[in-house]
Amino acid sequence: MKKIALTALMALLVVSLAFAGGRQEADPDAPRVITVATDATWPPMQFVDRNQEIVGFDIDLINAVADAAGFEVVIRNTAWDGIFAGLGNRDYDAVISSVTITEDRRQTMDFSTPYINAGQVLIVHRDTPAGVTTLQDLAGQSVGAQIGTTGAFEIQKVDDLDLRTYDELGMAIEDLAQQRIAGVVADTPIAADFALQNENYSAVLKIVGEPFTEEFYGVAVRKGNTEVLDLINAGLEVVLNDGTVEELQEKWLR
């Protein structure tokens, strides 16, 4: 019996040493892997394409951030209604999903440096004369927006504009395509989806000017997770200053 017990003990010791050796041999310089959740249902920011790949502005951005900061990123498609609960439960390290930075959200999570202003923008017909970049440039004409939205409120602030409201933004877009109105105001990503991604409208509509309200997006991390936050911010600092974000805006939002 003693011999059997001794043999078992030696076997256990060998396994333990092997496990410890494996840990010692791990590369301490291996890239950190960060799992990032996104709700891939909102083009052009994040969506599933025809090849069943998750693509979009946010996806290209977080991959560029990872390259710049020297970490690897794993994207996890996650339903919006539970995405922040999963972050709090440590199911993943961060969320990039067109998340607007708000004071309420700051109470329960931390945010990266803002990476884009996704506020209201102006969509016009491609036949619109050059030089039209603001609502004021359309004075005396009709401009559409979905009823009760920030876009409708912004149109009301401008003198000499005829506000046309619609139950659905798509109806306003169709009127603009048929040149029954002079412009449409909408959130930047939604505007880009209609004017750039929608094959029915991309040839006849365009976005002009810059966003004229502020709605900044950021990457959300678990409250107090400074390790992940610092890595993401380090990468963002690079891509915000080397022209990468401007390139992604041209690709997905212009």
Stretch 115-121: mean pLDDT:
92
Tell me the whole-structure pTM to 2 decimals. 0.74
Distances (CA, A) of 240 to 31, 136, 219, 222, 237: 22, 30, 14, 23, 5
Angle at the Cα of 13 from the Cα atoms of 8 and 15, rounded to 5 degrees: 95
Q: Walk me through the domains of the chain, giving residue ranges and CATH numbers.
A: 32-117+217-252 (3.40.190.10), 120-208 (3.40.190.10)
Residue position matching structure tokens 């306003």: 172
pLDDT digits 0-9 by tens, 178-210: 999 999 999 998 898 888 888 899 999 999 999
Check whether 61 has a pLDDT greater than 80: yes
Tokens of 236: 């963002």
Q: What residues contact 2, with CB distance under 8 A and at least 6 apart?
A: none
pLDDT digits 0-9 by tens, 73-107: 999 999 988 999 999 999 999 999 989 898 989 99
Q: 28 pLDDT band (50/70/90 cuts)?
A: low
Please list the residues that pair with 122 across neighbouring strands: 185, 208
